[in-house]
Amino acid sequence: MVEGTVRSFVTETGDLWEDRKGASASGNEGNPICGVSYKPKSQEDAEDVDLVTAFAHLTIVCDGMYSTLRKSLIRDPKIELPSFFVGLLMKRGEGKDDDGCEIALPFPNHGHVVLADPSPILFYPISSTETRCLIDIRAKKLPRVSTGELAAYLREKVAPQVPQALRGAFLKAVDEGRVRSMQNKLMPAEVFTCDGALMLGDAFNMRHPLTGGGMTVALHDSKLLCDMLAQLKDFGSKPVVTRATKAFHTKRKPWAATINTLANALYKVFCRTGEEWNEEMQSACFDYLSLGGMYSQGPISLLGGLNPRPFVLVAHFFMVALYGIGRLLRPFPTPKGLVIGVQLLMGACAIILPIIRAEGIVRVFAPFLLGEKAAMGKTKGRQQGPGGKRKAA
């Protein structure tokens, strides 16, 4: 295995590959991607080093959320920046509660979501002695670390909302500076085709990490793509590879969109707005899961990717909303209850419908209505001789 930093795509002659009209529209006929140019990891600190060219029949782009190659394939990716995650590593034995007991998660070996103000806090064990904490901070800019603003925010705003049994270890992790941060990004998958290249992972599609669905989607996409490529004897003819994977976007969409919609919708529900309908929605969500049976098994199977069906997701989402409305109208309707109920229903629609629209309503719920060209766009690239001219790197 060779490690290095990829700088650009290359053509068949090793020259810099350039997108002619944007990969989301036709215009790259006869312009396949034939490999990459990169700087070897062993020479990353060196200056004036010539880039190395690696030729391949198929280049799979999966360079993560900060992808530098994305814009070469998708001209105008629709990326949203809703918040930051600030992470802490808490270690067992580093804090005790007021009764002198060792810190422990309320439910050992389970993930926990704290519905804090203004956005959720996550706790989950990563080993027998360590627990990771992720604090969502809704802001365009993160409080500065160098001036102590971030540490002060964590101590004064977040710590009082942390469960008492975890507060000591939380504060110690803040004091010792075991803090890391990352920008959360949302990006619906764009349909594109370009002979010689495919995209996977966060470079291709992102959702809020609240539910941890990124790896679930990435693994499913990888398995789906492997099954499509397995029918080929080799990857020598780029147009043949493109035709073999032309249904990738269509087949993955209902599955991936369910995980994406669930993550983004739950995040919006769990973020406090100060409005009564929002608080009722949060309470209804928690109590709905507490009913057990299908009311907990259905949402949990969606979260785990075991039953990622769009109709099941929408059904449970609005069942939560109707459950909340029903509670507002008991034991008998009141003007205030009716008003909050209407606001709750409108708020639920305002949360989930834009997310589904961004994913593509027809692609999510009725992909069978799409023809082959609509499913993947027009195939770009001209038929090459079988076997190709380059060996895979």
What pLDDT, on the 0 to 100 scale, is given for residue 369?
A: 81
The pTM of the full predicted model, rounded to 2 decimals, is 0.86
pLDDT at 106: 87
Nearest 5°: phi and psi at 132?
A: -95, 140
Tokens of 6: 């990829």
> Number of C-alpha atoms within 13 angstroms, CB side, residue 55?
12
pLDDT at 93: 63
Mean pLDDT of the chain: 87
Res 20: pLDDT: 67
DSSP 268-319: HHHS--S-HHHHHHHHHHHHHHHT-THHHHHHHHHHTTSS--HHHHHHHHHH
Q: How confident is the model at residue 336, as a pLDDT?
A: 95
Question: Residue 209 has which token pair?
Answer: 């990490």
Q: Which amino acid is at 218?
A: A
Q: Is residue 112's pLDDT more than 50?
A: yes
Structure token pair of residue 389 = 């001219």
In angstroms, the first-to-last Cα distance of the chain is 10
Q: What is the mean pLDDT of residues 193-202?
A: 90
| CB contact burial 250-263 (16+ within 10 A = b; e otherwise) | bbbbbbbbbbbbbb
Q: How confident is the model at residue 373 (pLDDT cuts 50, 70, 90)?
A: very low
Interval 134-173: pLDDT, tens: 999 999 999 999 899 999 999 999 999 999 889 999 999 9
Q: Which whole-number Å values give the CA distances from 155 to 125, 161, 180, in the listed order?
A: 22, 10, 15
pLDDT at 377 over 50: no
